[in-house]
Amino acid sequence: MGRVMSVAERLMTLCYLNFFADSAPEVLRHTLFVTDGPLALHGPLAPLKRRFVEHLGDLASWCAARDLVAPLMVGIEKSGAFVEHAEQICEWIPVGHVMRLTNDYINRISGRSANNHYGVDEFYGRRFIYRTQAGDPLVITVPAAAGLSPYDGSSDVEGWSAFPTIRLICEVLDSLRTRMYQHAVIPVALAHSAAALPLGVGRSVLTMMAQQNIPGLKLDMQAVQPPTYFKK
C-alpha cells in the first residue's frame, strides 16, 4: 500500500502539470508543486524514475518554446540522515544560500564507497541544502533542466545552470516557512493536518476496528462505545 500511495501521489502531480499545460499554461508560471519527501522512487518503483525524468524534460522543453517558466517542483525532507547533517553544518552555510551536494560528498557523509554512483537509479530531482532567510536549513530536491538526469555524472549536471528553477523555488519557500514543526513549509503542514487522524480518535478507531475483526475479542472491550440510544 505504501508503494501504491507513493506512486499515486507523484502521478497526481504529473496529471496536474499536464492539465495546466493543456488548459491554462500561464498557471504554471505561478504554481509550485511541493512533494513531502525527496523527488525519488526507491526499490521496485525505481525504474519509473527514468519515465519521470523524460516526461518532466519534455514538459520543460515545451514551456521553454512558449517562453514559460519550467514547471516548479520541489521535494522537501523533514527527517533522515541528510536533514540531520544539514542541522550539523547549518552554521557554515550563509543565510539565503544553497549548498550543492556533490557525489563524492554524499558518499562520504553516507558511508558509501567513493566510486558509488549515488541516486542515478532513483532520483528525478537533485538534493540540495538551502539555508532560508530565517536561518534554518531545508533539504530539498529539484529537477534538472530538460535533457539532463540529476545524478547522471556528466559535467553538465554538476553546474548551477543545470537547475534553472532553483533560485525561484528557494524564494518561494522563504515565503512559505512555518514554525509549526521543524523543516516545515505551509503546504506540507496543511496537507498533514487534513489527512492525519487526531491521535486520540485515531487510536480509538484503529483499536475498535482491530477488536471487531479479531476472533475471540469481546465487542464490549471496544475503545469507543456506541451511544446509549443505540442500545436496546
| Most confident residue range from 45-49, 172-176, 204-208 | 45-49
Mean pLDDT of 80-102: 92
pLDDT at 70 over 60: yes
Which of 24-38, 124-138, 175-189 has maximum average pLDDT?
Answer: 124-138
Query: Would the CA dihedral through 90, 93, 96, 101 be positive or negative?
Result: negative
| pLDDT number for residue 163 | 93
Whether residue 99 has pLDDT greater than 90:
yes
- Cell triple for 1: 500500500
pLDDT confidence bin for 59, thresholds 50/70/90: very high
Q: How many CA atoms lie within 13 A of 150 on its CB side?
A: 29
CA-based nearest residue to 33, from 106, 114, 117, 140: 140
Q: How confident is the model at residue 54, as a pLDDT?
A: 92
Q: Look at residue 94 and tell me whether its pLDDT is greater than 80.
A: yes
103-121: average pLDDT? 86
Say what the pTM is.
Answer: 0.76
Q: Please give the pLDDT value at position 156.
A: 85
pLDDT of 160 higher than 80: yes
**What is the rounded average pLDDT for all residues in the chain?**
82
Q: CA separation (Å) from 193 to 77, 180, 190, 198?
A: 17, 11, 5, 9
Q: What is the pLDDT of residue 100?
A: 92
Q: Is the predicted pLDDT of residue 90 greater than 80, yes or no?
A: yes
The pLDDT of residue 147: 87
